[in-house]
């Protein structure tokens, strides 16, 4: 089960792994932005398990652990670089020594090129397969300048292709028309559909790289009304953009929606996690979910979803009807 990554000639697995969590502890604008304690050995074991099971696509960013995620991924892929497709991101500023990420961004040509060089060093590679703008709300003037920089990096052989992580459909369409990008990264899960962005990606032949495919863990089914995260976990630290958890607790309306579709998602003996991924594959042939992980066991469950494949059109439509009625 391989597919081409958008308009590039890069072949990827239909499932990727998101490497935010394996970056460990760091802060964004003074609030915890990591996923609690993480074991580097387990992280590497998870990446190796993915490769063993045919997953070759790994998505990270320079700010995940302020460089630590990239270093762990580079270490895991030592001697196996040719087996992997690496996507990373740039644009937010950070202090690696204090593990602080700032909301201010920098997408000047000099900064982007230096950020790329730093990522190459941490990843221990000569090239990045997919280099993505991490700042979703850039002005079109800024994006136009970045496109020129990215084209230059590609001409120099430092990157193979590029994309943008954004929620803005109108700006994403402008980007698709004005650039030679291969992908748009955006939120997509059974609790948060994005018909417009999926349609745009299909229309322009772009890969739809789906972050938050498990709704920050809510779709694992492990949490209920009594669950509570500490302020050292991104889900409990108070970021206003964390929609599935408030004050460290799951949002009741999302728990209700999950219960309403649980039976469909767990059909054919799928786990809830596997059903959530099956829903994404059923939504679009260009969709590539990138669930996060912290352990080898989690990766084994994630990769097991491929054995079942996508939900049927009938199941997708049934879920849409249920969601529309809630």
- Structure confidence by residue, pLDDT tens digits, 277-301: 999 999 999 999 999 999 999 999 9
* C-alpha to C-alpha distance for 263 and 270, rounded to whole angstroms: 10
Task: Report the share of the chain in percent with pLDDT over 90.
Answer: 98
CB-based contact 86:116 (threshold 8 Å)? no
Residue in 244, 271, 5 with CA at minimum distance from that of residue 128: 5
Task: Check residue 155 and give its pLDDT.
Answer: 98
Q: Which domain holds residue 277?
A: 3-325
In this model, does residue 71 exceed pLDDT 90? yes
In this model, does residue 5 exceed pLDDT 90? yes
Angle between helices 109-123 and 68-76 (to 10 degrees): 40
CB-based contact 182:130 (threshold 8 Å)? yes
Q: Hey, which residues does 187 pair with through a beta bridge?
A: 211
Please state the domain count of the chain.
Answer: 1
In this model, does residue 220 exceed pLDDT 90? yes
Q: Residue 104's CB: how many other CB atoms inside 10 A?
A: 9
For residue 103, the SS3 value is strand
Query: 90-123 pLDDT, tens per residue?
Result: 999 999 999 999 999 999 999 999 999 999 999 9
* C-alpha to C-alpha distance for 281 and 310, rounded to whole angstroms: 5
In this model, does residue 218 exceed pLDDT 90? yes
Taking CA atoms, 276 is separated from 71, 253, 270, in Å, by 29, 17, 9
CB-based contact 134:91 (threshold 8 Å)? yes
Taking CA atoms, 269 is separated from 112, 273, 307, 318, in Å, by 46, 11, 11, 18
CATH number, domain containing residue 81: 3.20.20.100
Kind and range of the H or E run holding 261: helix 252-265
Angle between helices 169-178 and 140-155 (to 10 degrees): 40
Residue in 320, 48, 5 with CA at minimum distance from that of residue 160: 5
* C-alpha to C-alpha distance for 197 and 297, rounded to whole angstroms: 32
Query: 306-318 pLDDT, tens per residue?
Result: 999 999 999 999 9
Region 135-158 average pLDDT:
97
Residues in Cβ contact with 155 at an 8 Å cutoff, skipping those fewer than 6 apart? none
Task: Check residue 326 and give its pLDDT.
Answer: 85
Query: 14-47 pLDDT, tens per residue?
Result: 999 999 999 999 999 999 999 988 999 999 999 9
Task: Check residue 2 and give its pLDDT.
Answer: 87
Task: Check residue 276 and give its pLDDT.
Answer: 98
Structure token digits, residue 230: 């500490």
Query: 136-145 pLDDT, tens per residue?
Result: 999 999 999 9
Region 213-228 average pLDDT:
97
């Amino acid at each position: 089960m391989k597919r081409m990554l958008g308009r590039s000639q890069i072949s990827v697995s239909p499932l990727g792994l998101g490497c935010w969590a394996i970056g460990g502890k760091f802060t964004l604008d003074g609030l915890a932005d990591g996923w609690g304690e993480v074991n580097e050995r387990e992280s590497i074991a998870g990446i190796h398990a993915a490769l063993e099971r045919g997953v070759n696509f790994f998505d990270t960013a320079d700010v995940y652990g302020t460089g630590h995620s990239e270093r762990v991924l580079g270490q895991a892929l030592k001697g196996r670089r040719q087996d992997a497709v690496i996507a990373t991101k740039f644009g937010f500023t950070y202090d690696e020594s204090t593990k602080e990420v700032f909301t201010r961004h920098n997408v000047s040509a000099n900064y982007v090129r230096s950020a790329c060089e730093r990522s190459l060093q941490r990843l221990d590679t000569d090239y990045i397969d997919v280099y993505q703008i991490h700042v979703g709300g850039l002005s079109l003037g800024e994006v136009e300048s970045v496109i020129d920089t990215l084209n230059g990096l590609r001409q120099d052989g430092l990157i193979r292709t590029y994309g943008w992580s954004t929620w803005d459909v109108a700006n994403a369409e402008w980007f698709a028309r004005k650039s030679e990008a291969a992908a748009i990264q955006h939120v997509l899960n059974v609790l948060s559909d994005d018909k417009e962005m999926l349609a745009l990606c299909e229309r322009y032949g772009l890969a739809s790289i789906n972050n938050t495919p498990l709704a920050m863990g809510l779709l694992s089914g492990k949490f209920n009304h009594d669950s509570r995260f500490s302020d050292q976990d991104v889900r409990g630290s108070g970021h206003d953009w964390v929609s599935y958890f408030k004050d460290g607790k799951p949002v009741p309306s999302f728990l209700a929606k999950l219960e309403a579709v649980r039976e469909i998602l767990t059909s054919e003996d799928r786990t809830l996690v596997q059903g959530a991924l099956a829903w994404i594959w059923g939504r679009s042939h260009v969709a590539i979910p990138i669930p996060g992980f912290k352990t080898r066991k989690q990766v084994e469950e994630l990769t097991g979803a491929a054995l079942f494949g996508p939900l049927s059109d009938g199941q997708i439509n049934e879920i849409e009807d249920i969601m529309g009625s809630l």
